[in-house]
Structure 1
């Protein structure tokens, strides 16, 4: 798998340094550079880039603004922020960044970030294959009524258990794995968070953050955090807190009417 990459940085030495660091990756093909976010947005609209190495501090539109803008595009490259500033990490992940690297970039750390992008594309390809197969089966069996049960397979003590939707407090990702949290248990599931979102009842479950889905029936308190974000205190044994990104906070306020 070879990914088309775009480097966006207003400093020429920084672009050259990153280009050199990426030259050791056979999976990366650097097909463009941009000196500012507006120029980058034009290139992204014209060419199907799979990965974007993006600085934050640039004249005019900054990298975070560009990250938000590409969320509205039909084709969205995976974004890895490469910056000298550590204080924007939370905001970076609110625009679905895959990773956040600090300059000067460590080669081993860069490899981890690239590996994350590769995993995402493999998952996407696998999901597309499954979707294509399901479409083909659905066309062949158009008259059949699909069976849907409100149970999610998960693993507990080496066994597969079926967790009722009503028992799920929230689902989340942790170190590239996905878990389901019930009142007392944390259970591993082989579904991606996107797959869980598709399976769970959308009238009950809400994607609060790129890493969390919460059962709104299990929310006890809504605690303002910062920059328009919230933490949701949920009804499990630990009274866990589930973060709500700023983008999703607007949707949540509309849903709950506050």
Structure 2
């Protein structure tokens, strides 16, 4: 169960958020702070006490616009710690989502807060909290590694693999209509080839697309990308992740927990997807 801290300088909004959090059976406790300074003091005590202390805070539900330090300022300060609490931004302003997810927010909830939407944010925090706990356990156990043969991808038939070298221009030969996806940053629209994307990560109502050279945030639900890219070899491995099969380098199994390595990233595989993913990888490796 989660120990939550809600931060908002508007008293009615804070009281409503606390009421909804305390009504959720997955939340063990919820306390409030009415400014960023008070929140940082409370989080500082929690970090000093450690995750097993009664003073621990697992997740912070954080407004953005507050007097003094903003919620984004708080998130930047917390990013310097080894194991900060999970962050969920709760705001009336839609325009800060890119910055919020760049600061590793688990979710971005718009005001007025609906009970069902907040419950979904709590579920996402619970999933990530459990995933971190499993990774911590795996770090202290010897791992059984199952190597999966890398399946030839783009580049084996005369087409360059991955992104082009700096300064080079690469346009895929006769790309299909859905062979690119538009991403926007700072008013500039770029068209990223889908074949460059190694995996996509759910971030609230958005998805973050990971390539060899960086990542891009798009306002498209992961479920939509799953349907759109199924024919291009993308498979769902977890609520949070959609992966290109050809980009998976390793499959790891340890004490019933399954993960895959995609480049430098290690991603959890949910139990419901583990068997199907293993079968798909083995078939591709043989064929």
Shared fold (TM-score greater than 0.5)?
yes
Q: Which residue of 2 aligns with 1:154?
A: none
Q: CA deviation at 1:58?
A: 0.6
Match of 2:201 among 173, 187, 202: 173
Aligned to 2:233: 186
Question: What is the distance in 2 between the residues matched to 1:134 and 1:200?
Answer: 20
CA contact (8 A) 2:18 2:30 kept: no
What is the aligned counterpart of 2:96 among 61, 75, 88?
88
Alignment of 1:32-43 (within 5 A): 32-43=31-42
Match runs of 1:20-31 below 5 Å:
20-31=19-30
- May I ask how many residue pairs the two structures share in their alignment? 181
Matched, 1:10 2:9: yes
Asked if the contact 2:58/2:86 (under 8 Å) is kept, the reply is yes
Residue 68 of structure 1 aligns with which residue?
A: 76
Closer, same or farther in 2 for the Cα pair 1:119/1:189, shift >3 Å?
A: same
Describe the shift of the 1:62–1:150 C-alpha distance in structure 2 as closer, same or farther (beyond 3 A): farther
Alpha-carbon distance between aligned partners in 2 of 1:51 and 1:114, rounded to the nearest angstrom: 9
Deviation at 1:104, TM superposition (A): 1.8
TM-score by length of 1: 0.58
Give the whole-Å Cα distance in 2 for the aligned partners of 1:27 and 1:163. Answer: 44
Q: Distance in 2 between matches of 1:88 and 1:52?
A: 17
Q: 1:199 aligns with which of 244, 261, 274?
A: 261
Matches for 1:36-55 after TM superposition, within 5 Å: 36-47=35-46, 48-55=56-63
The superposition leaves residues 2-41 of structure 1 with CA deviations (integer Å, 9 ceiling, x where unpaired) of 1110011112221111111112211113343212112212
* SS of structure 2 residue aligned to 1:76: coil
Could you list the runs of 5+ residues in structure 2 that have no partner in the other structure? Answer: 47-55, 155-160, 163-194, 203-220, 250-259, 266-287
- What is the correspondence of 1:212-251 to structure 2 with a 5 Å cutoff? none
| Structure 1 moving runs of 4+ over 4 Å | 146-150, 162-168, 174-179, 195-198
Contact 2:90–2:111 under 8 Å retained in 1: yes
Deviations 1:128-177 (A, max 9, x none): 33333226x7xxxxxxxx886673xxxxxxxxxx4669677322225568
Q: For 2:37, what is the secondary structure of its paired residue? A: helix
In structure 1, distance between residues paired with 2:119 and 2:61:
13
Q: Is 1:123 matched up with 2:151?
A: no
| In 1, Cα distance between equivalents of 2:138 and 2:77 | 29
CA contact (8 A) 1:19 1:30 kept: no
Conservation of the 8 A alpha-carbon contact between 1:56 and 1:83: yes
Report the alpha carbon displacement of residue 93 of structure 1 after superposing the two structures with TM: 1.5
User: Post-superposition shift, 1:75?
Assistant: 2.2
* Structure 2 length-normalised TM: 0.53
CA deviations over 1:202-233 (Å, ceiling 9, x no partner)? 5xx9xxxxxxxxxxxxxxxxxxxxxxxxxxxx
8 Å contact kept, 2:21–2:30? no
**CA–CA separation in structure 2 for the residues paired with 1:64 and 1:185:** 37
